[in-house]
């Protein structure tokens, strides 16, 4: 059964969840397989991205904020606040599920890869991320 990670998120942006996912993998598997990560929300998403220089993540956030700005006159779905519709669009352009290789109970990521929860709202609260290792 998938393990649910409850991730407390306080603000918009990229939050590193590599440690939480790796710990869930080690609880479920000691062999080889695939780790499936899924986020149960439509205004936050998942991303594998460079974990070294924070400036790369900063630019990525800024770039997407510029591509999908708040208060675009195109939006009709505005009842839940100016950050809601951009959040749905950003989630659609990124991923809700990731499938990551596992070798001997460990995530086989590249040297510079981290797993991020990309929060697209300003005041999100708790996010649910499900982790399941398949053989």
Query: Interface with its own copies by CB under 8 A: which residues?
Result: 1-2, 32-34, 36, 38-43, 47-50, 53, 55-56, 58-60, 62-64, 66-68, 72, 74-77, 79, 84-85, 88-89, 91-101, 103, 108-113, 128, 130, 132, 134-135
Helix (H) or strand (E) holding 125: strand 125-134
Helix (H) or strand (E) holding 64: helix 54-67
Nearest alpha-carbon partner for 51 in 117, 118, 116:
116
How many angstroms separate the CA atoms of 70 and 33, rounded?
Answer: 41
CB of 86 to its own copies, least distance (A): 9
CB of 22 to its own copies, least distance (A): 15
Please give the structure tokens belonging to residue 18: 């590599």
CB of 118 to its own copies, least distance (A): 9
* Between 47 and 122, CB nearer to its own copies: 47
Please give the structure tokens belonging to residue 58: 């900063």
* Between 26 and 75, CB nearer to its own copies: 75
CB of 17 to its own copies, least distance (A): 15
How many angstroms separate the CA atoms of 132 and 29, rounded?
Answer: 10
């Amino acid at each position: 059964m998938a393990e649910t990670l409850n991730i407390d998120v306080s603000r918009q942006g990229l939050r590193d969840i590599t440690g939480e996912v790796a710990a869930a993998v080690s609880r479920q598997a000691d062999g080889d397989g695939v780790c499936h990560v899924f986020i149960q929300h439509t205004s936050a998403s998942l991303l594998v991205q460079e974990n070294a220089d924070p400036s790369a993540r900063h630019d990525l956030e800024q770039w997407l904020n510029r591509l999908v700005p708040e208060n675009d006159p195109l939006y009709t779905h505005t009842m839940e606040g100016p950050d809601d519709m951009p959040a749905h669009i950003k989630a659609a352009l990124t991923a809700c599920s990731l499938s990551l290789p596992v070798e001997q109970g460990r995530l086989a990521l590249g040297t510079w890869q981290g797993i991020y929860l990309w929060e697209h709202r300003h005041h999100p609260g708790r996010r649910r991320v499900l982790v399941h290792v398949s053989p």
